[in-house]
Chain A
Amino acid sequence: MLENYDIDHLRQLEAESIKIIREVAANFQNPVLLYSIGKDSSTILKLAQKAFFPGKIPFPLMHIDTGYKFREMIEFRDYYVNKIEAKLIVEKNMSPEALGLKPQEAHTDYYIYHKKTKPLLDAIKKYNFDAAIGGARREEEKSRAKERIFSVRDEMGVWDPKNQRPELWSVYNTSLNDGQTMRVFPLSNWTETDIWAYIMLEKIEVVPLYFAQKRKVVKRNGVLIRLDEFNQASDGEEVLEVVCRYRTLGCSPSTGAVVSNATTVEEILQEVSVAKKSERENRAIDYTSESSMENKKKEGYF
């Protein structure tokens, strides 16, 4: 009997990611999947469902809410998590420093630390998580290109890029010392194009903000910011109606839309495979300094 054992790149990436996700469940006492609601998170959830099929995902999801996430994201989160019958933990930094932060500060390092990094580190301590799965891809950003799939953080959640474990074949070292935790990146080898191609192939649901529609925006620092409960037009700012979509999702005040007519996954895939600009172009978070992401990661940012 002649059979075809060909395997295309998406199925290969899928097989690798499922292995990584199962490795977490098999080797850690108390893992968690960090759910950030975007397309990468949707993909990782699909992979996790597959990894444990016909069973259920054996660990909870956790969302670190800054309070300034797009309304559509929160709606999608609650709908989707309920649909796939997963367990969700939502954590928010309720300290005065964090609550005092205004939307217009959303791009600052101080905001990132208090709204994202600190509550994440606190939650890991609070629930005693020993491993946290995240959706970061190496392609996204230069410093991520060097991070391991299984990446050790010390007691302070700090990543030391110069002192990483070599990672050979697909034999993952999952051992930890007291106080250390593991961050795990099953999508390390995926690109933005792979993600959309997989979303299309598997008919994965994503937040509607990814699709183009006419939105009311203002142009701030060269970035299109949508007007909503967090962003109002200031005096002198011109309100535009633009057909646009989001390539990445984050906090509403610091995430810009891109001009696009792509209203379906097919059209998005077409758009990203010929894109001339990199994915994080409209995320103010990367702009603060050339090496800002590396510095944030060293502090414990995911």
Chain B
Amino acid sequence: MDLLTFVTAGSVDDGKSTLIGRLLYDSDKLFEDQIEAVKKADKIDGELDFSLFTDGLTAEREQKITIDVAYRYFSTEKRRFIIADVPGHEQYTKNMATGASKAQAALILVDATKGLLPQTKRHLFIASLFRIDHLAIVINKMDAVDYSQDIFEDIRKQCLEFIEKLNLVDIQFIPVSSLKGDMVVRRGEKMLWYEGRTVLSYLENVEFSGSRNLIDFRFPVQYVIRPNQNERYYAGNIQSGVIRTGEEVIALPSGRKSKVNKIFVGDQERKIAFNPEAAAFSLTDHLDISKGEMIARVNNIPEKANYFNAMICWFSEESFDKSKRYGFKHTTNDTHCFVENIFYRLNIENLHRENADSLNFNEIGKVCLKTQKPIMFDPYVKNKNTGSFIIIDELTKNTVGAGVIIEKAEKNLEKNFQQNASKGQSGAILWLTGLSGSGKTTVAKKLAEKLQEFGLPYEHLDGDEFRKDLNIGLSFSESDRIKNIEIAGYVADKLAKHGIFVITSFISPYRSQREKMKERNPDFIEIFINASLENCIKRDIKGWYKKAQLGEVTDFTGISHPYEEPLNPDIVLQTDTTTVEECVDKVVEYLKNRGLLNV
């Protein structure tokens, strides 16, 4: 038997509790003692007050409203059901978000006497945001509108107009009278014009197996089991995908690889485990992986980021504060987050995007968040389990927000520019040129560290990595070398204009090409990494010189291809005789003198 969790939502007084009560009563799922208790209460229009079956807490019975998300359980011969019952008054976003986060299907109630209300729109929007794949819009109180097909069709149209703007896939409309029971479990005689399924029949038959992701193996380590001194089992729930013994896996963000040795699901040893099982497995290598790391298959890994864009729902009376640090929990990973940017607040009633400096209670908006540790995630649309997170107030420890990740955010270029501009700081291109093995990459990396210390945005473009990453099949012929440097120069130029310090480490052998770049950007700084050819050959870190001398590689700079030394470089670094640190100091001093560095 499969298990379907569905959320029920509606506005105040649209008869949702009555619908659930009726559903349980007519499908014979209530106990005699529960029925007896309700029979003692007042009747409505000659019918039992079905809402009393579900309204649980004292406070709400006194106020005649439900005050929180309540979970109910029933099963038929076909399915086992969990109902997340969401009330329709205040705290609507919080409650609907909570209920919707766990549901594979939703029943959204609309009162036939009132039509589509703002509240219903909110519920529909959250259902769409949280990707509930299957939705039934239940038009209730049909008895109060004389079971009119016209009214049903009118409301259907209103809903469809709104839904057009949302990401909802499978939508059904069902006219019902919860009070009298028509179309809940029994068809009844009053709405023969309607040919669709009853509410119960819909719930029993909706096909939801597609909501499970069995492709991308994602295993956030939740706990490490050490049965003895030698063995370690990584325990957690498989958030998506399938894993078998012997498969090669990678732990992220550390990037260490190993193979799956033994798998346990509970106390059973297995060859295979899959979502959503709670598994524990050991690896063939002794890696010290800890809680919060994500294990994935080597060729199918999640994204890694500190900066990402997300839609968040805000649950706290205290507004979302741009200057505040928050607790952040994503899969099994606890870290902190900061608000990098609030793009907009969404007006849920008309779906307009409004400018916002913060988010208030029950509001939803698009933000860019920055986390202290990088997180391993997938966009929510691809994977609900690895694309969702909660935000925790550090003082009260309450859950104050929840979000779904849209995408990785590139470090906000515009913002760097503004920040630097306000510091009187602009970017520059630090162009390192020199022979292979002269020390360009080493100096560049140290320089990058220095800029990071200063808190300045930087990007390092390295010759070897650039060719590898770009991977467009450029050779080492003269024309291809020119193309390669042309592309690198172009990228560096664009980045520098956004206030970024771009450090490049390319041989870049042609004088004329470097001169051209210098003309294009006044803050192009030519740094000549000057090491003698003998020393470069002696070092021969990558073994290229040897191969070039043996003729195994052709067009090798310094051996079989020319290197045109700069005639008038801005800085010369003699890497034969100075240390890396001295080189970096020299560059920093130069930048300060040029007024390019105000630190």
Contact = CB atoms under 8 A, between A and B. Distances in A.
A175 B335 CA distance: 12
A143 interface: yes
B97 A189 contact: no
B222 A26 contact: yes
Q: Is the interface of B mostly helix, strand, loop or mixed?
A: mixed
Contacts of B226: 55
Contacts of B237: 15, 18-19, 170
Interface stretch (B270-278, B294-302, B515-523, B526-534): B270-278
B222 A23 contact: yes
A177 B396 contact: yes
11 contacts: A3-B242, A7-B274, A9-B80, A22-B235, A54-B267, A54-B280, A145-B71, A145-B72, A167-B399, A168-B102, A294-B58
A13 interface: yes
B374 to A, nearest CB: 18
Interface of B: 1-3, 31-34, 56-59, 61, 67-73, 75, 80, 82, 94-95, 97-98, 101-102, 212, 214, 222-223, 225-227, 231, 233, 235-237, 242, 264, 266-267, 272, 274-278, 280, 291, 315, 327, 329-332, 384-385, 388-390, 392, 396-399, 402
A146 B235 contact: no
B71 A189 contact: yes
A15 B57 contact: no
Interface stretch (A113-121, A203-211, A271-279): A271-279
Given A166-B94, A171-B330, A138 B73 contact: yes
Nearest to A175: B397
Contacts of B68: 146, 161-162, 164
Contacts of A175: 327, 392, 397
Contacts of A191: 73, 75
Given A166-B98, A168-B98, A191-B73, A18 B266 contact: yes
B574 to A, nearest CB: 54
A23 B33 CA distance: 37
A50 B279 CA distance: 9
A166 B267 CA distance: 32
B58 A291 contact: yes
Contacts of A23: 222, 332
Contacts of A18: 237, 266, 278
Contacts of A177: 396-397
A163 to B, nearest CB: 9
A53 B227 CA distance: 8
B274 A5 contact: yes
A52 interface: yes
Contact of B101 (A3, A50, A143, A168): A168
Contacts of A146: 56-57, 67-71
A173 interface: yes
A22 B236 contact: yes
Interface in A142-169: 142-143, 145-146, 161-162, 164-169
Contacts, number: 175
Contacts of B32: 276-277
A194 B385 CA distance: 25
B541 to A, nearest CB: 44
B227 A54 contact: yes
B392 A15 contact: no
B278 A15 contact: yes
Contact of B223 (A26, A161, A165): A26
B266 A53 contact: yes
Given A18-B278, A170-B102, A170-B385, 19 more contacts: A7-B274, A8-B2, A16-B276, A22-B235, A23-B332, A52-B225, A53-B264, A53-B267, A143-B57, A146-B68, A146-B70, A161-B59, A161-B68, A162-B68, A165-B399, A166-B94, A170-B237, A193-B75, A281-B31
A166 B264 contact: no
B267 A50 contact: yes
Given A53-B264, A55-B227, A165-B398, A171 B278 contact: no
Contacts of B274: 5, 7
A13 B521 CA distance: 63
Contact of B225 (A3, A14, A55, A291): A55
Contacts of B291: 26
B425 to A, nearest CB: 39
Contacts of B402: 166, 168, 171
B266 A22 contact: no
Contacts of A9: 1-3, 80
Closest 4 CB pairs of A and B: A142-B56, A50-B266, A18-B278, A9-B3
Nearest to A188: B71
A139 interface: yes
Contacts of A189: 71, 73, 82
Given A23-B222, A173-B397, A162 B67 contact: yes
A295 B59 CA distance: 11
A290 B226 CA distance: 48
B277 to A, nearest CB: 5
Contacts of A15: 237, 276-278
A282 B98 CA distance: 34
Given A51-B235, A175-B392, A5 B2 contact: no
A176 interface: yes
A276 B34 CA distance: 10
Contacts of A200: none
A214 B69 CA distance: 43
A123 to B, nearest CB: 24
Contact of B233 (A3, A54, A278, A281): A54
B213 to A, nearest CB: 11
Contact of A3 (B57, B266, B272, B332): B272
A168 B97 contact: yes
Given A175-B327, A175-B397, A277-B33, A166 B57 contact: no
